[in-house]
Amino acid sequence: MTIHIGAKPGEIAETVLMPGDPYRAKWAAETFLKDAVCVNQVRGMLGFTGTWNGHRVTIQGSGMGMPSLSIYANELIREYGAKTLIRIGSAGAMLDTVNLRDVVIAMTASTISTPSRGFFKEMQFAPAADFGLLERAVAAARAKGTRIHVGGIYSADVFYDERPDLTEMLARHGVLAVEMEAAELYTVAARHGARALAVLTVSDHLLTHEALPSEDRERSFGDMVEIALGAAFG
């Protein structure tokens, strides 16, 4: 057990999928895993371990934002021996070529600030995905016929942003979408020699202001979970 994860030794798999929402972790475990067992309920941040096609998998909620994600990623890697961490979550599209329900596979994650900023001081570290995971995620998505975009995203440290100038500049540089966790996940994984990837479903659009109704999000997120599992075990 750790401060934030109540799982016993051996109850966390080496491969962990990390949605922000603990109830999305519950939904994904019940939908995609066989014999899923709840291994964590501390602070309501649910975690489940089961199998997918014979492979052992944990799906652990990470909370919202990089500080929360950083806590869980650090403890999963350092205390439970997790070696592959894949964020599955929602994102807001920043380009007119990206549509609702599309899947974004994040090659890099730009950010203004993360909890790891103090480690680097003046250094501008470039958080990037594990190439092997990214390559297999693309292959899994193509096999499913899912519309995907591969490239850079922006990990914001605030939800209610009031920087239209920053949004415009990021879009000008080809940033596909915005979310709130991947940059720190990539950084923590790199620090500890683990593999990381973010596979994201576009749930809303910063340009058109479209958004998926809550009932549609669950159905649309299925492709993302299957792509993440394909990346881990393909």
Binding residue per annotation — 90?
A: yes
> Catalytic residue at 204?
yes
d(C-alpha 213, C-alpha 203), whole Å = 9
Spatial CA neighbour of 21 closest among 178, 150, 181, 155: 181
Report the predicted TM-score, pTM, of the whole model to 2 decimal places: 0.96
The residues of the chain scoring below 70 in pLDDT are 218-219
Binding residue per annotation — 179?
A: yes
Q: What tokens does 39 get?
A: 């291994």
DSSP annotation of 142: H
Residue 92 and residue 179 in contact, taking contact as beta carbons nearer than 8 Å: yes
Binding residue per annotation — 92?
A: no
Binding residue per annotation — 203?
A: yes
| Alpha helices (H) in the chain, listed in sequence order | 22-32, 66-78, 117-120, 131-144, 164-172, 182-192, 214-233
CATH topology of domain 15-233: Rossmann fold (3.40.50)
Largest Cα separation within the chain, whole Å, is 48
Spatial CA neighbour of 94 closest among 154, 47, 51, 41: 154
Q: Which residue has the tokens 């109830």?
A: 23
Active-site hit among 130, 204, 216, 223? 204
Q: What is the CA radius of gyration of the chain?
A: 16
How buried is 11 (Cβ within 10 angstroms: 0-12 exposed, 13-18 middle, 19+ buried)? middle
Binding residue per annotation — 79?
A: no
**pLDDT at 216 (0 to 100):** 73
Residue 161 and residue 170 in contact, taking contact as beta carbons nearer than 8 Å: no
For the chain, the structural domain boundaries read 15-233
